């Protein structure tokens, strides 16, 4: 299955649609995976990340990493690292976030504004673009890596607000 075969756009007409998508992704994604979240300010990137974390079982508070740049969530053997790179100017700034110690560990990366730190980030497995739409939002999922393409049959069955992903 090629990358071109693994692109899907769906409507997220209400806030709970984003919640459903995040929880469904949580159930499908393996422990080690990289998700890039693209979209303008207010498009729903952080909302999707929160829903995904809730779907993985995180019960504590979930802060937006807008000012801290990184929030880490230990979930058993897996750790979720949520980055918001909106405020960085160049990838070299990531050097000070302590991400090097994650090498070789089970980490699910959720990266908002990945284009701002691309040179210092692991490559994406799955890219999700969120856009404003006349009715709510639109999400476009794109499987990039072989690992994401192998998951596509599962991702393709997710139901969100009557649409399938």
Secondary structure element (H or E) that encloses residue 8, with its range: strand 7-12
Give domain limits for the chain. 3-164
Topology (CATH) of 3-164: Rossmann fold (3.40.50)
Overall pTM > 0.75: yes
Rounded distance between C-alpha atoms, residue 71 and residue 63, angstroms:
7
Percent of the chain's residues with pLDDT above 90: 59
Listed residue (54, 62, 22) closest to 160, CA to CA: 22
Q: What is the pLDDT of residues 47-64, one digit of tens each?
A: 999 999 999 999 998 988
What mean pLDDT value characterizes the chain?
88
């Amino acid at each position: 299955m090629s990358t071109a075969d693994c692109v899907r756009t769906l409507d997220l007409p209400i806030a709970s649609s984003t919640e459903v998508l995040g929880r469904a992704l949580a159930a499908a994604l393996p422990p080690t995976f990289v998700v890039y979240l693209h979209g303008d300010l207010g498009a729903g990137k952080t909302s999707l990340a929160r829903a995904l974390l809730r779907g993985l079982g995180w019960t504590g508070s979930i802060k937006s990493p807008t000012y801290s740049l990184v929030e880490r969530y230990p979930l058993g053997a897996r750790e979720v690292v949520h980055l918001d790179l909106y405020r960085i100017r160049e990838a070299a700034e990531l050097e000070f976030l302590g991400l090097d110690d994650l090498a070789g560990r089970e980490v699910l990366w959720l990266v908002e504004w990945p284009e701002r730190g691309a040179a210092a980030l692991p490559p994406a497995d799955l890219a999700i673009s969120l856009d404003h739409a006349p009715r709510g939002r639109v999400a476009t999922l794109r499987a990039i890596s072989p690992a994401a393409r192998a998951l596509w049959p599962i991702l393709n069955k997710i139901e969100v607000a009557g649409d399938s992903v």
